[in-house]
């Protein structure tokens, strides 16, 4: 009779899967939090609508005012304010996008590690199932031998 050698049970000995969002939130500085908040506000429809209303109001008040034009056509002061806004918001939005790109890279690396671990576990499960199939075939073979011996003894 053959002795069956089953593989040892698989032990999950790998590092813990990390929550990328939690790690990055813990590392964020005050400036990064501010950049994310500003980018979230400026990238919204609410901001776009409010800014459009202010621009229309500014232009309307300066066109309608016959005496006190604080910014007459061609609205140089308005142009200055919009240029300043663009000069400061573009780098802030870029900082927020860089942080998002860093988050995406970490998530992709984390996904890769999870896939590697899953592939290893699947490979080990398949090896274990193959060894069980071999053992069952051997058991079936031995049972058939015992049955044939019993039939021979009865006859």
| Containing structural domain, residue 108 | 25-154
Please write the tens of the pLDDT for every residue from 51-96. 999 999 999 988 887 778 888 888 999 999 999 999 999 999 999 9
Q: Quick one: which of 97, 102, 96, 111 has its CA closest to 18?
A: 111
Domain tally, the chain = 1
Domain for residue 141, yes or no? yes
Domain for residue 10, yes or no? no
Give the per-residue pLDDT at 2. Answer: 60
Domain for residue 144, yes or no? yes
Domain for residue 133, yes or no? yes
Q: Which residues of the chain have pLDDT under 70?
A: 1-7, 9-10, 12
Global pTM?
Answer: 0.62
Give the per-residue pLDDT at 68. Answer: 80
Give the per-residue pLDDT at 78. Answer: 95
Domain for residue 131, yes or no? yes
Cα 21 to Cα 18, 26, 89: the distances in Å are: 9, 9, 24
Give the per-residue pLDDT at 124. Answer: 86
Domain for residue 15, yes or no? no
Domain for residue 4, yes or no? no
Give the per-residue pLDDT at 87. Answer: 95
């Amino acid at each position: 009779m053959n002795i069956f050698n089953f593989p040892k049970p698989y032990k999950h000995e790998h590092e813990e899967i990390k929550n990328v969002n939690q790690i990055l939130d813990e590392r964020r500085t005050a400036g990064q939090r501010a950049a994310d908040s500003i980018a979230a506000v400026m990238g919204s429809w609410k901001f776009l609508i409010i800014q459009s209303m202010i621009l229309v109001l500014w232009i309307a008040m300066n066109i309608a005012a016959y005496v006190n034009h604080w910014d007459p056509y061609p609205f140089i002061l308005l142009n200055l304010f919009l240029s300043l806004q663009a000069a400061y918001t573009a780098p802030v939005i870029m900082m927020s996008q860089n942080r998002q790109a860093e988050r995406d890279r970490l998530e992709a690396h984390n996904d890769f590690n999870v896939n590697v671990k899953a592939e290893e576990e699947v490979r080990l499960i398949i090896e274990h199932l193959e060894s069980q199939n071999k053992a069952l075939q051997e058991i079936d073979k031995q049972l058939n031998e015992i049955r044939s011996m019993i039939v021979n003894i009865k006859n």
